[in-house]
Amino acid sequence: MEFQVVYPMVELTQEQIQQVLQGIAIPPQPQIMVDLQMEQMMPGCSLDNIAKLISQDVGLAGAILKTVNSPFYGLSNKITSISQAVSLLGSKTVVNLVNAQSIRGELSDDDIVALGRFWDSAMEIAMASNVIAKQIGFPSPDEAYTLGLFHNCGIPLLMMRFKDYPNVMVEAYRREEERIIDTENELIKTNHAVVGYYVGKSWNLPPYLCEAIHEHHSIEKIFADDRAEPQKKTLLAILKMAEHVCGNHRIIGNQEEDYEWQRIGDSILLFIGMSQYDFESLRSQLLEMGLGNNDYYC
């Protein structure tokens, strides 16, 4: 996808930043905030290092993309690359955004523990998605990374809304034949995919990425639809492979078996044109890079 790059970018005031950030917010990871503060204090503060740190956090990355895609900048195409967004915004605006998120993101120790699995899972799946995208020749690995990072962004909001939500997810992943979102709908009258869709819209993500967030547990329907966009299908296929290899069913659902993959895996690999042997080889490569779960079995 081509982007229109506009130089120079305007620097936003604190008031404008607060205006952009109004609405849905996901707390940033405390350790990432510490690392960012340390980077800001370094004599040779590096925008590249700041971008790498921001790319590891769902809330901060969302705030950055929301800002660069806001009407203040008037870009003709939506930005999906976090590193590109940081480069376009410039150091002063990025630092102000990070500091604004720090004020909003104060968490209790219990919150930090509860969100720990979500943060770790989001980062690992994003990195795995990027690698898989490159391996299969997908032209926009940054988009695959962004979807991997954001696809479960509805989870922390529901965790903060429903104290029993982790148990809801365990029950959702436990049911062999039902979609995960169907169990959520039954138990809490909403689900993390639809919440994530609205989070993505509030962050000014491109419509197709918002739709992919909304549909990432509706794979059977999407892949049975010949009219569905091939780009979105490919992004979803990459995401589901990354989720499976990274053991998302264990981390979020506390289940040994990935029942969703058992239902959709063959369709995913067929669409990508990958054999089971090729998928095992890819998984081994990801494991060598420190991504995925050694206890995983197809």
Residue ranges in the chain modelled with pLDDT below 50 = 1-10, 12, 17, 20-21, 103, 296-298
Give tens-digit pLDDT for 106-130.
566 677 777 888 888 999 999 999 9
Whole-angstrom Cα distance, residue 121 to residue 139? 24
Torsion angle of C-alpha atoms 186, 216, 265, 225, degrees rounded to 10: 100
User: pTM surpassing 0.85?
Assistant: no
Alpha helices in 69-227, H assignment, sequence order: 82-89, 91-104, 109-135, 141-150, 154-161, 165-174, 180-188, 192-202, 207-215, 219-224
The reported pLDDT for the residue numbered 163 is 87
Report the share of the chain in percent with pLDDT over 70. 87
The structural domains of the chain, ordered by start, are: 14-104 (no CATH), 109-288 (1.10.3210.10)
Report the length, in residues, of the chain. 298
247 token code pair: 């053991």
Summarised one tens digit per residue, pLDDT across range 180-237 is 999 999 999 999 999 999 888 888 899 999 999 999 999 999 888 888 888 999 999 9
